[in-house]
Structure 1
Amino acid sequence: MSASQCDEQLFYREMADVVPLEKGRNRADTESPQRPPSEAQLARRASAQDGEGESNFLSDEFVELLPPHDPVEFRRDGIQTGVIDRLRDGGYRVDSQLNLLKRPVAECRRELFRFIREAREHDLRCVMLIHGRGKSDDSHANVVRSYVMRWLSQFDEVQAFASAQPRHGGIGATYVMLRKSDRARQRNRELHQRRRAP
């Protein structure tokens, strides 16, 4: 008996108890009712929405890496140069800070989104991000730093940002100036009106 005949006999012996599918039952039933999502699926959905009422709009596309030893600076149109000068010099009190050191980029994206939203809700004006700096272009710290700078410019509430002073981490940290909330503006107006009142 040849090897091919032996293989054929083996095949038929293994397939002896196989029953063909009934007609009409050879594909998935698409009409079956869907089961409700499990608790794990619901938890994953909630996690994907970052626990926020709105979805995370920060870009996750490739970003051009910044030179690791260069300070960063950004200000929106209409923001006075005095504001960015004072921010760069560490002249504003840091209300809160977020540490992103050694975290994966996806986690940094989630945490930054949540942090800026919460800072805005609590009327914080100046916050600091600690991201590290790295010694080379492709070091993890420099990759995170490059993404953070891109993401900060995507927030409407971010008016300006600049690399921190050496006492706060230098190039490895960034000061961020947030726009005043409507509540804070209203409080300022009321305070100034009281001062002017005779």
Structure 2
Amino acid sequence: MKKRYQLADDERHLFRESIAGTRPLRQDTVKAPKPSRRRVAPPARRLMQEQVDASYYFSDEFQPLLDSEGPARYVRPDASPYEVKKLRRGDYTPELFLDLHGLTQAQAKQELGALIAACQREHVHCACVMHGHGKHILKQQTPLWLAQHPDVLGFHQAPKNFGGDAALLVLIELNQ
């Protein structure tokens, strides 16, 4: 290895004089423990089970009573109606987004279940579900499915900057 900077003899002598009387430091710190090899992400089997469990709540036969006039909105009976008003105004910013474009109804149900499970796992209070316009199948079914889930506090049609009438903002109840 080539030395780039050579000290002159007088500089080396000056350095040795300046550190005269010093002694090396003794290492007195504790060694850090080795990091554990625990997996941070849950196993794939557990994630799949969460999706299946969460999609269990969605039924095509049950038709919840939703207001058909105006934008799609819902508030759980024990939740504050003011929360949905905050969603409409855009006070909540979604942290997770789910795009259902191109999915079948069965796939969309599974993905909705996975989204709700992910929100609870990650402690996310607001999410955005983009169902699109298309043939209006997912646009009609998504609010019906969300209204059936016990962890959904409410939802409202998204403001324009989050998808407008092709998306829903969803409030999720977090289990502490």
Same fold (TM over 0.5): yes
The residue number in structure 2 matching 1:121 is 121
Amino acid at match of 1:120: Q
Scaled by the length of structure 1, the TM-score of the pair is: 0.57
Map residues 12-161 of structure 1 onto 2, 5 A cutoff: 51-53=48-50, 55=53, 56-57=55-56, 58-61=58-61, 70-134=70-134, 139=135, 142-161=136-155
Runs of 5+ unmatched residues, structure 2: 1-43
Structure 1 residue 164: Cα displacement: 0.4
Change (3 A) 1:120 1:144: same
Structure 1 residue 155: Cα displacement: 1.1
* Secondary structure, aligned partner of 1:51: helix
| Residues 63, 146 of structure 1: 8 Å contact kept | no
Matches of 2:129 and 2:103, distance apart in 1: 13
The residue number in structure 1 matching 2:171 is 177
Structure 1 residue 79: Cα displacement: 2.0
Runs of 5+ unmatched residues, structure 1: 1-45, 183-198
Structure 1 residue 102: Cα displacement: 2.0
CA RMSD of aligned residues (A): 2.9
* Secondary structure, aligned partner of 2:138: helix
Structure 1 residue 92: Cα displacement: 0.6
Number of residue pairs matched by the alignment: 129
Change (3 A) 1:97 1:63: same
Scaled by the length of structure 2, the TM-score of the pair is: 0.64
Identity between Structure 1 and Structure 2 (%): 25
Structure 1 residue 81: Cα displacement: 2.6
